[in-house]
Amino acid sequence: MRVRGLRKAYPKIQAVAGIDLDVERGEVFALLGPNGAGKTTTVEILEGHRKRDEGTVSVLDADPGTAGRAWRARIGMVLQTATDAAELTVNETIRHFARYYPRPRQPEEVIELCGLREKAGARVKGLSGGQRRRLDVALGIIGTPELLFLDEPTTGFDPEARRKFWSLIQKLAADGTTIVLTTHYLDEAEALADRVAVIAKGEVVAQGAPGDLGGRAQREATVRWFDRNGEQSVRTSTPTKVIGELSLGGGELTGLTVTRPSLEDVYLDLVGEAR
């Protein structure tokens, strides 16, 4: 995927203000940003659901603004909200959607992959939030997509359901599916994404691997420990040196930790600077 100079304006607001992005085949790429930053508009343009004002966009070697039905069969989407035939069972729903694609996965395989085997005969209206989201993913991957868009996929999940969902996404990525993920959960981006881009006011303010974003790996670390005088701490760019000097002091150190700024710390700094 290649995006250059992407712009989209609405009355009184510039939603996307010149975004450049590259997403490699087979990677998980996360878009982060506050509400109103332009993430949803960007993704809708990449999916071919919204027209752009300016810029060039290539998704699976085609312009999504003009690509046809064959191209659409190569992508999958899991929207933040979805409507469905609530009276159908899980099995009926997945089989129905499979008919829309030229090379669908086997419905039984998708049901198993998404952890819905025990709910295959249940009506959609009776599913829990986590089960419903798994069905959304099942419908997104039934067509064997090369590229999968996930829009806030775990909103409203409890911690256990989120972890199970992460395992599913990691399995899809391991199988070679390219995934573009939007999320407000920074731990989710850190757990799943190969690279992330932070969008604020319609612009990309930083992008890179989660561990390197915004120079995170080079930022000062905080060394904390306890000695006979209580808790001690120091911020330093050379934590190994500090620990070596402490060990030469001869005193007993307990609770020794070394921490660098979290992805959340870096994200908040980047978004704050863009305001």
Per-residue confidence at 81, pLDDT binned at 50, 70, 90?
Answer: low
CA angle 50, 143, 106 (to 5 degrees): 160
Write down the pLDDT at residue 5: 97
How many degrees, rounded to 5, is the angle at CA 79 between CA 203 and CA 22? 40
The residue type at 192:
L
pLDDT score recorded for residue 251: 67
Lowest-pLDDT choice from 68-72, 104-108, 237-241: 237-241
Give the per-residue pLDDT at 235: 85
Going by C-beta distance under 8 Å and a sequence separation of 6 or more, which residues neighbour residue 83?
A: none
Task: Give the span between the Cα atoms of 73 and 42, in whole angstroms.
Answer: 20
Domain map (residue ranges) of the chain = 2-212, 215-274
Lowest average pLDDT, out of 56-65, 168-177, 253-262, goes to 253-262
Q: What's the pLDDT tens digit per position in 156-173?
A: 777 887 888 888 889 889
Residue 3: pLDDT band by 50, 70, 90 thresholds? very high
DSSP conformation letters of 107-156: HHHHHHHTT-GGGTTSBGGG--HHHHHHHHHHHHHTT--SEEEEESTTTT
- Mean pLDDT, all residues of the chain: 89
Decide if pLDDT at 83 tops 80. Answer: no
Per CATH, which fold does 2-212 belong to? Rossmann fold (3.40.50)
pTM: 0.81
Which range, of 194-208, 220-234, 250-264, averages the lowest pLDDT? 250-264
Of 30-44, 49-63, 68-82, 88-102, the poorest mean pLDDT is in 68-82
Model pLDDT, residue 92: 95
Average pLDDT on 227-235 reads 84
For the chain, give the percent of residues with pLDDT over 90. Answer: 55
Q: Say what the pLDDT of residue 260 is.
A: 75
CA dihedral angle for residue 87, residue 92, residue 98, residue 100, rounded to 10 degrees: -40
pLDDT band at 274 (very low <50, low <70, confident <90, very high): low
Pairing of strands 178-182, 195-200: unpaired
